[in-house]
Structure 1
Amino acid sequence: MKERQIQIALAAMDLFLEYGYDEVTSADIMAHFGQVPSAMYRHFHSKQEIYQEGVALLSSRLADRLTGSLSFTNLPLPIVIPILPTLPQVYPYPIEDKTKGIHHDLLFRIAANMVPIWERRLKQAKEQREVEIDDVSLKARVCVYGQIGIFLDEGLSGPEKIDKTKEFLFHLLWMDKSH
């Protein structure tokens, strides 16, 4: 993807997340760059294509921030978990009714990006006897989707979500010996 396409897709995501997909037009997106709406077609076929590329780019960047500590260190997991960023720390977009669908698309794409990284790290931790896990793939999915569930809990504040996420991961990986 060319740099200009990346800029357009990410700028469009900012607009979609602020106003909602249906409220943002191609003209709105291109006005951000001081260009006429038809200029969009030099880079994309449709607003939907911009959206799909924007979700892919933004979710990849957020997933990288969430899992960087997992994939670029050989520190034991009990040391990594406390310093591991959580969704409330890296996800800066408020979730409103008009944008819930966009957030769900982003969060599920973030999860899809995170699961393989968690699988590799948990496999490594199992081989090094840091954790006792029978089904690494299942445990990786529970780690990732559990974090999203905590993040989406509207009854918790941001700091509570961070604490609950860390507590959840510790419980799942070290206190739950049933799997």
Structure 2
Amino acid sequence: MDEPRDAAPAADERDAVPGDGRPETASQRADRNWNELLQEFRVFQTGTQIVAAFLLTLPFQQRFGELPPFDVGVYIVLVLLAVLITLLALAPVALHRILFHRRMKEQLVSYGSRLLIVCLAAASLLFTGIVMFIVDFLLGTGAGFVAAAVVFAVVVVLWIVVPLVIRRRAIRTLRSGAA
């Protein structure tokens, strides 16, 4: 027997966030958010995998044995950081496999989002450290620290300041439009 047309939609069929311009159910929203998150991880992983591969080739270079103890220590920290980032970036995949078909997509999205933020923070340290390592080797420790500070400042501006400014402007625009 058909349901009457004016019956209220089931809880999962309602618009997850009414008025946001995306008429989608909570499940559809979770699926979309999960797919967007996976795409972000794909982009992120490509860059960090290239960096990790670069790091893993260095000990096999002739001049690696000439590195002072400080540079060897920095190198080991960078390798460990690259491995940690790789493991963190793969964690959502493992979690998804374990929670597959358990109707926990919203939890996956929440956990994955937090993991990606941690990955980005760790990657900022990795990229800063790699620049310091290379410039230190080529030009000296002082230049290495200056170059690292510049890279870190660029990361902070691009990954934190700019998004916060954009978000603040959007909130102001919404508030002024609602008034």
TM-score band (shorter)?
A: under 0.3
TM-score normalised to the size of structure 2? 0.28
Q: Which has the higher contact order (CA 8 A, sep 6+)?
A: 1
Query: Whose Rg is larger?
Result: 2
